[in-house]
Structure 1
Amino acid sequence: MLRECIIITDKDLHLHSDDEVILWQGNPQDIKVFDIISKPVILLIGLFCIFIIAFAVKYFFLTEGANDFMRVFVTAIILALGIFVAIVPFVYTSRLRKNTTYVLTNKRAIVLREKGDYNVTAYRSLNKLKNICIYKNNSDTATFYFIEDSIELFSIGERNSFDDVIFRNIKDFDELEKIVSPFVAVVHL
């Protein structure tokens, strides 16, 4: 199913100067929930839930004080928590992808995110960047890291993700690489 790309105009973006123009814009590519990475994660979570249920049932049989209602109740709670833990990350990332738009101008790389009633904008000036790191994913997409320092790439998980300007899961990455390469050096990871 194709998703509509949110079209951002110069007026919507509040460009800093008259000579700043939009060169490229896009959204993260939708990824199937049960792709290569998701299947093992869901399988492990399912096996963990089965193990916990087996442990809880065995414990209740060893302790004769627990009645049938308590056994069923605890089993249902463990199953519900397992399903919640297995599904919520996929729903969250899917929603985040749908509400994210990437914009590249001749001066900045911009990430726009809709978060409820307000929008979050993160950007990096292209003239401050030493290079752009591109990582080609297994799903025929690429992730572009717009970072000011190479040390910054290794501390991405430790900072607030809204400060990072990362274009994730870009399908037409060759086109974007051609557009951005005149402005800054490109490094492939």
Structure 2
Amino acid sequence: MTESDQRRRIEEELTPDERVLWTGCPSTSFFSLLTKADIFILPFSIIWAAGAGFASVAMLLGESQHMMSLLIAPFFLAVAVYITIGRFLLKVRLRRKTVYGLTDRRALICRGQNTSFILFDRMRTLEKSIRDDGSGTIYLMPDAKPGMFSSLNRNAFQITPDAKYAFVEIDDAKEAYDIIRKHILEAKDHSS
């Protein structure tokens, strides 16, 4: 998605006296799709896929004539395809529909036709995970941040695998973080 497309999508959500300060999209590169949980999930999914594949081949070769194996093997094979490859393809598809935006009042997350936002004056905490090149993830509500084990299912297998209130794997995370931090502090000063 081009920068002008990102800006246009965020501008659709603006109130009349609001202005866009920053827009961005999540990365869809392979390594950005991996999570800490994949250290455990990928080996498991490969073993699962091998077992499901072996069972399916055995069934096709006629070594198993049980009706249950004819019904169960395709199910296990479908699950194997999803946990090995499908969940990454789904993440890419969802991330391509996602646009992040910062205005002078709030942070917006647009996924397709759905939009959520957090007002700067409502944000109490902010967390960043930024690499040396400036890319990374900003958690707008760190309490909702997916953990390695606590939300293994949500993070690895959920239809929307990325954290709900986060700018996930953006190229210019440092710039976005600085804008958010500045506006949170300004909102806090105005409310004092």
| Band of TM-score, shorter chain | 0.5 to 0.7
Structure 2 unaligned blocks of 5 or more: 186-192
Q: Which residue is equivalent to 2:87? A: 89
Q: Which residue is equivalent to 1:143? A: 137
What is the Cα deviation at residue 133 of structure 1? 1.3
Q: TM-score by structure 2 length?
A: 0.65
Count of matched residue pairs: 167
Distance 1:35 1:139 in 2: 17
1:163–1:153 Cα change, 3 Å: closer
Structure that is richer in strand per residue: 1
What is the Cα deviation at residue 125 of structure 1? 0.4
Q: Which residue is equivalent to 1:71? A: 64
Q: TM-score by structure 1 length?
A: 0.66
1:39–1:128 Cα change, 3 Å: closer
Give secondary structure in 2 for the equivalent of 1:92: helix
Matched, 1:15 2:9: no
1:111–1:34 Cα change, 3 Å: closer
Q: Which has the larger radius of gyration?
A: 1
Q: In percent, how many aligned pairs have the same letter? A: 19
Q: Which residue is equivalent to 2:179? A: 179
* CA RMSD across the alignment: 4.2
1:85–1:164 Cα change, 3 Å: closer
Which residue identity lines up with residue 71 of structure 1 in the other structure?
S
Check conservation: 2:52, 2:80, Cα contact below 8 A.
Answer: no
Provide, for residues 109-152 of structure 1, a one-character-per-residue CA deviation record: whole Å limited to 9, x for no partner.
000111xxxx10000000111231112369973211222xx655
Structure that is richer in helix per residue: 2
Which residue identity lines up with residue 177 of structure 1 in the other structure?
Y
Distance 1:10 1:154 in 2: 27
Check conservation: 1:102, 1:111, Cα contact below 8 A.
Answer: yes
Check conservation: 1:145, 1:165, Cα contact below 8 A.
Answer: yes
Check conservation: 1:109, 1:165, Cα contact below 8 A.
Answer: no
Distance 1:133 1:71 in 2: 53
Q: Which residue is equivalent to 2:110? A: 112
Structure 1 unaligned blocks of 5 or more: 61-65
